Structure 1
């Protein structure tokens, strides 16, 4: 197996692909405050990653 797969190329940084897990169901009716906060943080993180 190639050991260089996770190393940055010379002279620059490597852009990683953006991936999302879309197979998780979210029920607003069953969500508590912590669930809603986690959802908001996840959406903000996704938006930051898509801007790069």
Structure 2
């Protein structure tokens, strides 16, 4: 039988970046520079997607 790592991920900022595909609450008051850059990249990607659908 294979041993598995059974540690559950804690819900803190260090593990938030590992939450791929999960909805997370966003607060502009708590946003740091990395959050703002990520938001800008996401908006640019959305524009590219909408442009390609025409």
TM-score, normalised to structure 1's length? 0.52
**Equivalents in 2 of 1:24, 1:33: separation in Å?**
18
The alignment's TM-score, normalised by the length of structure 2, stands at: 0.50
Match runs of 1:1-52 below 5 Å: 24-52=24-52
- The number of residues matched between the two structures is 31
Q: CA RMSD in A?
A: 1.5
Q: Which has the higher contact order (CA 8 A, sep 6+)?
A: 1
Segments ≥4 residues shifted beyond 6 Å? none
Cα deviation per residue 1:1-51 (whole Å; 9 max; x = unaligned)? xxxxxxxxxxxxxxxxxxxx8x54321101000000000000000000010
